[in-house]
Amino acid sequence: MFSFFLKNKDNESDKDSLHIKTAALLIYAAKIDENYSDIEKKIIKTALVNLGVNKENLEKIFKKAENIESNSNQILEFTKEIKNSDKNFKIKIIETLWSIIYSDNNLDMYESNFMRRLTGLLYLDNKIVGNIKEKIKKNLTNDILS
């Protein structure tokens, strides 16, 4: 009787909903330093494809995520579904977030604070997140030097 209340808006699948909220979280991270660049958009879109978003649906999911993110004032609504995902999915998200943050070769205090909060919200170990951060920084340094 009340099953229509449980369905996602626009008949989105659960997977689409997860991808949209994941993209919204990534967009939020990209905008936190007030410099939302094309490089960050490319990182987000590449990550979405790597997470299983169909290339035909990529722009639709990305636009929905931008809309949701711009109309939201907190990250909790983005992290609810992500925190229930498996550890590998969450690690891919953290890798993408660090890639976004370091895409401008700078970590500011807002980005650092965001990652600390997010680590707790996603129930991830600080050591794992720190190791991912160092791996991304090292890869970035190697890319610059080569």
Domain boundaries, the chain: 13-145
Distance in Å from the first CA to the final CA of the chain: 61
**pLDDT, tens digit, 9 for 90 and up, residues 67-118:** 999 999 888 889 998 999 999 999 999 999 999 999 998 899 999 999 999 9
The superfamily (CATH) of domain 13-145 is TerB-like (1.10.3680.10)
By the 8 A CB rule, do 31 and 69 touch?
Answer: yes
pTM over 0.85: yes
Give the list of residues 6+ apart from residue 146 with CB closer than 8 angstroms, or none. Answer: none
